[in-house]
Amino acid sequence: MTQLEGRPPAADVIHDIGYRHYDGPRLGRGYARKSLYVQSLRSAYGLGRSAKSKVLPMILLAVMCGPAAIMVAVAIGTKATKLPIEYTQYVIIMQAVIGLYLAAQAPQSVSLDLRFKTTPLYFSRPIEAVDYVASKFAALTTALFILTGTPLLVMYIGALLAKFDVSDQSAGFAKAMLAALLLSMLFSGIGLVIAALTPRRGFGVAAVIAVFTLSYGAVTSVQGVASINGNADVIGWLGLFSPITLIDGAQTWWLGATSSFPEGAGPKDAVVGTVYLLVLLAVIAGSFGLLMRRYRKAVLS
Amino acid sequence: MTVIATESLTKRYPRVTALDRLTVDIAPGVTGLVGANGAGKSTLIKILLGLAPATEGRAAVLGMDVATEGAAIRAHVGYMPEHDCLPPDVSATEFVVHMARISGLPPSAARERTADTLRHVGLYEERYRPMGGYSTGMKQRVKLAQALVHDPRLVLLDEPTNGLDPVGRDDMLELIRRVHTEFGISVLVTSHLLGELERTSDHIVVIDGGSLLRSSSTSDFTQATASLTVEVTEHEDELVEKLTAAGLNAHADGRLIMVDIDGDETYDAVRDAVAELGTGLVRMEQHRHRIAEIFRGGDEHDAA
């Protein structure tokens, strides 16, 4: 059946070369997964898409790095002995920018595939639901890690140029990078679960922003009330209920970061600290599980 | 040798039976799968790709079992969905290269075959522009290209002429014909119009309500069902008499006269008869077959 039947080509079509069969290698699912990962990561920064799609992610990346660059310049210029803020505090301070990036790119990553029905096309290839979910999850995590890690790298390089204490700076930088990685996984998990619910990008953007700002707003205001009542233990527990405070609490206990909670009240003891870590990991694993459930159904639709 | 074989394939959903003990063997070549909307065409394609499990029965594609070798089938089969599936802010080249890689082609091969395939489906300079600005015809070509880019041994085309104007429809059907004759790839193409598949397919399978109505070669079909519709200003009855006298099977259907086509002479006979009667010929056209006619003719042509 692969043999070609002789037949003159239609007059209106120019055939300089006839159809050629492909005898080369067909790389398997692992390669397909990697390809989807690379493509999703590139498009998270608008690469391979229209110029318009590049604007927002690039601006947000610049905004993330701006304050870090200024701090470094000031630190070098004024002959300070350390950077004005800790590495671990940086992502907490810049959380609005990270949230905005996530709100824009999580729906871009999955809602558009649903809206333009590209998802069924992927599943007509050798890949399975788990490959799709893993690629998208890893790609958005990497994109967020680039967003959060780059300014930290700017700070670190600046600190080395300013000849601050190397071991001190390296330890702080490494811890902050670990926290940034956990944050990237947590945020992309939650963002993707929300975005995968709707083929409408606008709804996805609004829902991600709502979940992140409302939960943060609720947690900080209740923490504020607790602070007025002088209830530091409660402040520590409350941090569990919004993504960014979850990261804050976890890095305060496990990485010795300075807490941004009211009165600097992080988790009060090892029990609370452990709960933070467990909740953090459970949410990451849980979002992966929810995405799997969502796309197993999508394969059949 | 068969490319697709199903054996009392059944798919039941909670409220509806989409496929009902469908047994059919499909040989290499172009096969038209005809059925009304909801006849089970898309369900069959999903099962053949190994994406939905059958409730009962078995099916094999290229000799591979759909229940256990889905991934291997999907590596060697191309699929063009009925619905739109193209992201608007990506160029055709970028998109087809990406789909080639998802099918397992290494980067350089993916690029090379994308350029080749887009040229074969007739997409040239516009392939570098975002697909949001494409016409329906161009979009259908890209959808076909992504189904062919990994050089499959079989392509499943779900309603490829949907939404196309008559010229675009003919171009697409010609292209589908070439997929087999020039590229050597077997084709299963679905449509709800029998007429358009007659010209493209070697073999036609008609399903209705999820079960097989008829499976036969295209020539059997056209001989059995081709007819001419004639409309004249007056003397309809005399014309029917004259045509019957000339050995043709003609009958009046309201103001229209239906004549079974028995070769090119039929047209001449009609023309001569009309001229002899001196009546005005309003129109004479080859009848477009619809599924309904298969139902009417269903009893004479026993389903396999």
Beta carbon pairs, A and B, within 8 Å: 121
A20, A26, A125, A300: which to substitute to probe chain B, counting the most B Cβ within 10 Å? A125
Q: Which of residues 110-139 of B touch A (CB under 8 A)?
A: 113, 116, 120, 122, 130
B163 to chain A, any CB pair closer than 8 A? The answer is no
Residue A24 with chain B: CB contacts under 8 Å: 105-106, 109
Are B104 and A26 inside 8 Å of each other by CB? yes
A19 neighbourhood in chain B, CB within 8 Å: 116, 120, 182-184
Contact flag A300-B184 (C-beta cutoff 8 Å): no
Residue A249 near residue A270, CB atoms below 8 Å: no
* Domain spans of chain B, in order of start: 4-222, 227-286
Contact A124 B101 (CB under 8 A): no
Q: Which residues of A touch B182 (CB under 8 A)?
A: 4-5, 7, 9, 18-19
Contacts of A27 in chain B (CB under 8 A): 104-106
Sorted by where each begins, the domain ranges of chain A are 29-284
**Å from A15 to nearest chain B CA?**
8
- B98–A contact, CB cutoff 8 A: yes
Low-confidence ranges of chain B (pLDDT < 70): 221-225, 287-304
Q: Which CATH number applies to B227-286: 3.40.50.300, 3.40.309.10, 3.40.50.2300, 3.30.70.980?
A: 3.30.70.980
Superfamily name and number for B4-222? P-loop containing nucleotide triphosphate hydrolases (3.40.50.300)
- pLDDT tens across the length of chain A (301 residues): 444 444 454 555 555 568 889 999 999 899 999 999 999 999 999 998 888 889 999 999 999 999 999 999 998 888 788 888 999 999 999 999 999 999 999 999 999 999 999 999 999 999 999 999 999 999 999 999 999 999 999 999 999 998 888 999 999 999 999 999 999 999 999 999 999 999 999 999 999 999 999 999 999 999 999 888 888 888 888 989 999 999 999 999 888 888 888 877 778 888 899 999 999 999 999 999 999 999 988 776 6
Mutation for testing the A interface, residue in B84, B86, B89 having most A CBs under 10 Å: B89
Q: Say if B284 is an interface residue toward chain A (CB within 8 Å).
A: no
Write down the pLDDT at residue A108.
92
Given an 8 Å threshold on Cβ–Cβ distance, is B182 in contact with A18? yes
Interface contact A117-B122, CB threshold 8 A: no
- Under an 8 A CB cutoff, do B79 and A121 touch? yes
Is B174 in Cβ contact with A118 (below 8 Å)?
Answer: no
Which residue in chain B is spatially nearest to A132 when comparing CA positions? B102
Tens of pLDDT, residue by residue over B121-176, are 999 999 999 999 999 999 999 999 999 999 999 999 999 998 899 899 999 999 99
Give the pLDDT of residue A301. Answer: 61
| Chain A CB within 8 Å of residue B169 CB | no
Question: Looking at CA atoms only, how far is residue B127 from chain A in angstroms?
Answer: 14
| A285 Cα to chain B: minimum distance (Å) | 26
**Cβ <8 Å between B99 and A121:** yes
Residues of B in contact with A13 (CB under 8 A): 122
Chain A within 8 Å of B10 (Cβ-Cβ)? no
CA distance A200 to chain B (A): 14
Confidence (pLDDT) at B5? 95
Q: Would you state the pLDDT for residue A146?
A: 97
User: What does the DSSP assignment read for chain A?
Assistant: --SPPP-PPPTTS--SS------S----HHHHHHHHHHHHHHHHTTTTS-HHHHHHHHHHHHHHHHHHHHHHHHHHHTT-SS-SS-HHHHHHHTHHHHHHHHHHHHIIIIIHHHHTT-HHHHHTSS--HHHHHHHHHHHHHHHHHHHHHHHHHHHHHHHHHTT--HHHHHHHHHHHHHHHHHHHHHHHHHHHHHHTT-S-HHHHHHHHHHHHHHHHHHHHHHHHHHHHTT-HHHHHHHGGGSHHHHHHHHHHHHH-PPP-SGGG----SHHHHHHHHHHHHHHHHHHHHHHHHHHHHHHH-
Using an 8 Å CB-CB cutoff, list chain A residues near B55: none
Residues B149, B154, B155, CA angle at the centre, nearest 5°?
65
Cβ contacts of A49 on chain B, cutoff 8 Å: 89-90
Question: Closest chain B residue to A17 measured between Cα atoms?
Answer: B116
**Helix A270-300 × helix A243-255 angle, to 10°:** 140
A125:B181 CB<8 A: no
